[in-house]
Every structure is written in C-alpha cells, then in structure tokens.
C-alpha cells in the first residue's frame, strides 16, 4: 500500500515537473506566478519521491519471496497469522506430536521449566523422505500453539549476489520477533545449510553464517521456535546441528500400516465413501507409500468416482487410484504390436511366477495394459510392514526382478530392452548387498563410497556373480513351471489382466 502511494505521488511530481519544463521552454507567463522557491520545492519533492520509490523497490527485493507482501501466494501461507491446522489433521506420528506438545507447553508456561533450570530445545529439525508430513506437522505445531507461522523455503535464500540471502534471513527473524509467539519454518534447509567445505560459495556461506548468528541470538527469546526440514540430514553443516541450534532431530518416516489407516481416515472424512470400502485393506495395499501419496490416492479415487458418475467412492475407485499412483496414467489406444504384447505378457507372467514360487509379497494383479512408460506391471504388496530383510529375501527379490527377462529368454530365446528398469533395481540391491550390508565375499564389512573406485573390479565381479546366479535360479523356476507361464501369458494376451486370486488358481492342481 505504502509502495503504491509513493508511486502515485512520484507520478504526480513527475507530471508537474514536466509541465514546469514545458512552460519554461515556451517562456509562458503563467510561470511568473510561481516563485523560485515553489519551483525548487516541486523539483526536490519529485526527486525525493523518485529516490524513495527506487529505494523501497530495492529493499523489497531483499525480502524473501515468501515474506514479501506483494507475493500473493506468500501472503496466503504467511499472512503472519496462525494456520487453522491442528494435530487432529496429522494422522499417526504420535511420538512426534507428544514431543511437540512438550515444546508448546514451554511456550505457554515457560516459568515452570525455568524454575527447574530446564532449557527447551527451540531448534527442531524434521528429516525424512518427501511427503511424510513435515510441513503439515510444523503448521499444526503453529496452529496448536497459536503462533504466527512464517514459512520460507531454503531455495528462496539462494541468490547470486553476496549478502542478499543473509539479508533475507535477518528480515525473516525480525518478522518473527515482531509477531511473537512465532514459528519459523524453513523447508529444504539443505539449500542453505549444506556442509561449508563442499564448495566455496561466498554467498551461501554468508547466508548460513547469518542463520547461525540469528539462531544464537533468538535463543534468548522464549517465544520463537525455528523448525527446519530436509530430506538429507547427512548434507547439513555440523555447526547447524550442534546443541543450541537445531539440537532436536526428528525423523519423520513413511507411515506404517496403522498410520496409513489413520491417514486414509483423515483424507476421506469429508468424502462420500461407500460402506464396502475397507480402509484396513487399503492401508495394507499401500506399503511404502508416503502420507502425500495416500492423500493423493484419496483424491484420485474421488475424481475417478466422479468420472464414472457415481454418488459414492467405492473400493474399485480406490483400487484404480492406487494403480494410477503406482503405475502411472493408463495409455489410451496404445499401439502395441501383437509380437510385443506376447513378449510383455510372458515377461510379466515370468515375474509373477518367480514371485509366487519364492513366496515374495502378495500379488494383487498382473497387467499388460500400458501405463506411463511401462508396457506391463505386476502389482504386489507385502502381507506386513518389514524393516529387516535377510540375505535370502534380498536374493529372492533379485530373482523376481530377473524373472521377466528369464521368461523372455526361455520362450523366445532372445532378450529385449523391456528389462531395463528391472536390471537397474536388481543391480542396486546386489550392490548394496556387497558394499553396504556385508553380504558379499568381503565378510561383514561395509565399503564406503569413496573406496568403491579402488576395488571396482572386484566389487563388480561380486555383483555379477550374485546377478548371474539369481538369473539362473529364476530361469530354472520358470522352466519347471513353463506350462503355467504359457497359460498365464495367453490369458494376459486375451484379457490383459490377471487378479491375484487367479494367479493362485494357476498353481492349484485342478486348474
């Protein structure tokens, strides 16, 4: 607003000055009525306004996008007010909420803690995979503590010109101090807080230094909490992580089966859901999904239901939504040649058969309907959440991944490019077995990334042995079940999909 008034006054001043100039050129008598002081006043006020306008504009550029009052999006997220999100909107993550409630208690009743000589950590760092609810938690924290929520993304402080990022950090903290109690949330903090010795970047170093200085300063202020979020804790500078700064590191991981159920409940609560929808079964089908993906599935299911002119969202809509999120968009009118279709059908059936024989995860569906970049896929989900895998289980995973190519070789006696993604995943597992899990021939030791290059030949030979032997096993399994492979593939060529239940039937003697 202030900017606009200055701008309008400046235009009026410029207009008057131009008229004075024109009148002066034509030496018109009207000028005689103005004294030299009047003219001087008009000129100097105009000059002042021009100067002031450009100064404001410059200052404005020094303010982070999310803090600038001209930025509409920022205004919405950061209208210097309290978000209406509470911990009820955050499903699961109970232990984290408990921890945050303790900090809120300190903000509300700091005397109690001070009398005990306790200092509550006010620099919290959320780290973990994307979409797990870090931003949501920070917002809910601000909502619950009735604090001003100031959102900034680390990348907003990354600038070409030295000093600009640092100035923006100062502005952010000044704003927080003006509106206590306040929560400063810096998303993607690794953009400014990565280790300083990695590269020599003057601007980035200055920005990080300023952040460290501000954090030291605000420690005296009980009503400001700073929360950082990152997907890569390992990249952050030690100075940022030391006690007194971001001293509480909170891992926010992908939800377990119970939390997935809770997250689904949060995201369907305002949607018309058919009684037949089983949330428990949905949460079992979505192992490894992040909260954001689950929210996306609930939304996709609603869109699919609307597309199908339904009044309520049913189980089929949710299944279609899961498939859409896992495998991508269904390709309309795909032009896959029959020969390719046959290869894909055997390839996918190969994965499924090896998976079934080795009892890896539950197969939900096999499909050769192209989606995204994939010409076919096997949709599977584990019976339960697993955190530890044995060497045998990892080898079985590799075998299942290689089952597609093994089927191609067995049936067509040639291999195609269709296995590209499988090979990458299988090689990654084998590499981790050798280098990280101590499951190779080097005994129980892990090989750090920087030493891999010194032993590359030996490591590659170990990876190759694992892959070759797994491929041979997959091939043998398929040879043993070649009749099922051919029947399943033929079914796929005609009907394009096979359900998990039907896969089981192929293995029963009477089918």
List active site positions: 348
Nearest residue to 361 (alpha-carbon basis) of 379, 377, 383 = 383
Least distance in angstroms from the C-beta of 511 to ligand ATP: 42
Contact 401/351 with Cβ under 8 angstroms? Answer: yes
Provide CB contacts within 8 A for 451, sequence distance 6+: none
Contact 235/195 with Cβ under 8 angstroms? Answer: yes
Two structure tokens written together for 234: 């390992």
* Residues forming beta bridges with residue 410, ordered by sequence position: none
Choose one: 46-54, 71-79, 84-92, 236-244; the region binding ligand ATP (CB under 6 A): 84-92
Nearest residue to 263 (alpha-carbon basis) of 388, 138, 136, 104 = 136
Using the structure block, give the residue that is written with the tokens 């939304």: 299
* Residues forming beta bridges with residue 378, ordered by sequence position: 366
Tell me if 231 contacts ligand ATP by CB under 6 A.
yes
* Region 481-510 residues binding ligand ATP, contact defined as CB under 6 A: none
CA 470, CA 462: separation in Å to the nearest integer? 12
* Region 256-285 residues binding ligand ATP, contact defined as CB under 6 A: 263, 266
Least distance in angstroms from the C-beta of 136 to ligand ATP: 4
Least distance in angstroms from the C-beta of 126 to ligand ATP: 7
Nearer to ligand ATP, 93 or 353 (CB): 93
Two structure tokens written together for 276: 């037949």
Give the angle 422-392-501 at the CA atoms, nearest 5°: 65
Q: What does the per-residue mask of binding to ligand ATP show for 281-300, with x meaning CB under 6 A?
A: ----------xx--x-----
Tell me if 187 contacts ligand ATP by CB under 6 A.
yes
Nearer to ligand ATP, 128 or 376 (CB): 128
CA 93, CA 400: separation in Å to the nearest integer? 33
Q: Candidates 6, 20, 90, 439: give the one binding ligand ATP (CB under 6 A).
A: 90
Q: Candidates 97, 122, 134, 356: give the one binding ligand ATP (CB under 6 A).
A: 134
Nearer to ligand ATP, 64 or 136 (CB): 136
Choose one: 26-34, 126-134, 203-211, 355-363; the region binding ligand ATP (CB under 6 A): 126-134
Choose one: 56-64, 110-118, 127-135, 307-315; the region binding ligand ATP (CB under 6 A): 127-135
Contact 310/335 with Cβ under 8 angstroms? Answer: no
Site for ligand ATP, rule CB under 6 A: 90-93, 130-136, 187, 229, 231, 263, 266, 291-292, 295
């Amino acid at each position: 607003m202030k900017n606009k008034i200055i701008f309008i006054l400046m235009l009026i001043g410029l207009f008057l000055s131009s008229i004075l100039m024109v009148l002066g050129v034509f030496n018109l008598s009207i000028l005689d009525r103005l004294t030299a002081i009047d003219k001087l006043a008009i000129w100097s006020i105009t000059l002042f306004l021009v100067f002031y306008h450009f100064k404001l504009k410059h200052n404005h550029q020094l303010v982070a996008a999310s803090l600038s009052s001209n930025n509409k999006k920022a205004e919405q997220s950061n209208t210097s007010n309290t978000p209406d999100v509470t911990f009820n909107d955050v499903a699961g993550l109970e232990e984290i909420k408990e921890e945050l409630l303790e900090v809120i208690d300190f903000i509300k009743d700091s005397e109690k803690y001070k009398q005990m000589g306790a200092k509550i950590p006010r620099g919290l760092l959320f780290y973990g995979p994307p979409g797990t609810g870090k931003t949501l938690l920070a917002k809910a924290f601000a909502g619950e503590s009735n604090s001003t929520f100031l959102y900034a993304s680390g990348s907003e402080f990354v600038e070409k010109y030295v000093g600009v990022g640092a100035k923006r950090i100062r502005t952010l903290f000044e704003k927080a101090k003006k509106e206590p109690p306040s929560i400063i949330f810096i998303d993607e903090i690794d953009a400014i807080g990565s280790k300083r010795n990695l590269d020599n970047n003057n601007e980035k170093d200055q920005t990080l230094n300023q952040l460290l200085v501000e954090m030291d300063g605000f420690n005296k202020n009980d009503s400001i909490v700073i929360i950082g979020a990152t997907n890569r804790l390992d990249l952050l500078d030690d100075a940022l992580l030391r006690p007194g700064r971001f001293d509480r590191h909170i891992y926010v991981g992908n939800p377990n089966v119970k939390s997935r159920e809770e997250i689904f409940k949060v995201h369907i609560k305002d949607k018309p859901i058919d009684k037949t929808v089983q949330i428990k079964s949905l949460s079992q089908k979505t192992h490894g999904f992040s909260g954001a993906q689950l929210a996306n599935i609930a939304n996709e299911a609603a869109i699919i239901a609307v597309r199908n002119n339904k009044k309520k969202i049913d189980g089929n809509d949710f299944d279609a939504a899961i498939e859409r999120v896992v495998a991508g968009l269904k390709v309309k009118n795909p032009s896959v040649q029959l020969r390719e279709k046959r290869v894909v059908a055997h390839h996918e059936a190969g994965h499924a058969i090896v998976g079934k024989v080795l009892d890896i995860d539950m197969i939900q569906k096999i499909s050769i309907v192209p989606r995204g970049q994939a010409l076919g896929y096997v949709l599977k989900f584990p019976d339960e959440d697993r955190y530890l895998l044995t060497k045998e289980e990892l080898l079985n995973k590799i075998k299942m991944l290689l089952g597609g190519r093994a089927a191609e070789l067995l049936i067509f006696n040639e291999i195609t490019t269709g296995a590209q993604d499988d090979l990458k995943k299988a090689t990654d597992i084998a590499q981790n077995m050798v280098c990280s899990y101590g499951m190779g021939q080097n005994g129980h030791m892990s090989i750090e990334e920087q030493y891999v290059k010194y032993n590359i030949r030996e490591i590659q030979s170990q990876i190759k042995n694992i892959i070759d032997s797994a491929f041979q096993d997959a091939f043998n399994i398929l040879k043993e079940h070649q009749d099922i492979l051919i029947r399943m593939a033929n079914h796929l060529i005609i009907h394009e999909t096979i359900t998990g239940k039907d896969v089981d039937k192929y293995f029963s003697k009477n089918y």
